[in-house]
Amino acid sequence: MSAVEKYALITGGAGFIGTNLARRLMSEGKPVLVYDNLSRPGVEKNLAWLRDKHGLRLLIDIADVRDPFSLKKAVKGAGSVYHLAAQVAVTTSMTDPVSDFEVNARGTLNLLEALRSMKTPPPLIFTSTNKTYGDLRDITIRSNTTRYEVDDPGLGAYGIGEDRSIELHSPYGCSKGAADQYVLDYARSFGIRAAVFRMSCIYGPHQFGTEDQGWVAHFLISSIEDKPIIIYGDGMQVRDVLFVDDLIGAFLLAMDNIDSVSGHAFNIGGGPENTTSLLELLNMIENLHGKRPELRFDAWRAGDQRYYVSDLRKFKTFTGWTQKVSFGEGVRVLYEWLLETRGASQLEASQSEQATAAKEAL
């Protein structure tokens, strides 16, 4: 890497999406600065993997978006910025809304101010959320045996578009929604080239899913490790799901077309062709794994959407983006990656426990 070569700055770059984005960029010969506070359990493994694969092309800054001075330093050498750092769980925002605000809203404003201070700021891609649209309780739905369906044929055919009114539910929805609007307004008011992705469910390798976030990976991990799964609600809630490689492709297309997409928000997910309910995913996992995990049910959580599917037409019109990975194919890829990285260690731990028990029995 030359002394003057600009890097791609990825805040939250050690996380699931950030790791996949960094891998893609560095595989194309571009230097990357991963800016991350490493607060999410397991992400240090992602960082070690990136270092092992890409060596000196990877730059690392262990820092927090709540630190405006570190951010201002990080953006100076950036040729592009992908702002992924966030507090990602609705449940966490309910117990600690101040920290949620500081990370998601204030952290984003810190970054925007760092960019505004530059003579020629690099372009910005920001990851928002479908939670900006609230709980969508006004949508008329009906249930069949495994999922909810919508009565509106247009909504069923295309999904929810960006013309849907913003309606913020939960502190998480408020903090991400505020950040979303700040990014769009800094594009409008200060001429910063920036676009927003309101993401639905993203899944793929390097995802350390929990019941609060990353539920596709969480269901697979729980199945591999033979742990029970808690379903909040009835399991018929529907989401569109997008494999992470297709999301990265969307990011890069947006960056290539930043002058036309700047100032716009785009709903991004699997769209109507790649939807699933929680119950349907469990059926798919049972077919893959040969065993259905133990299920427990609990009450609906604040802001839960019964039905959300992204209308992808706006982004496709702007960039020509298309998906390449179907949901069935993507789940199999993630399952096999988890077996390789997590299942093997789980098997070794189980064998070790059995050996210890056998010795103690002698």
Catalytic residues, by residue number, are: 172
**Which residue's entry shows tokens 């065993």?**
291
Task: Name the nearest CA neighbour of 25 among 87, 107, 88, 81.
Answer: 81
How far is it, in rounded angstroms, from Cα 152 to Cα 139?
8
Q: How far is CA 286 from CA 27, 212, 220, 291, in A?
A: 35, 22, 10, 5
Residue 109 to residue 182: CA distance in whole angstroms: 7
Asked if 250 and 198 count as a contact pair (C-beta separation under 8 A), the reply is no
- The 10 Å Cβ neighbour count of residue 204 is 26
Q: Nearest 5°: CA angle at 167, between 165 and 170?
A: 160
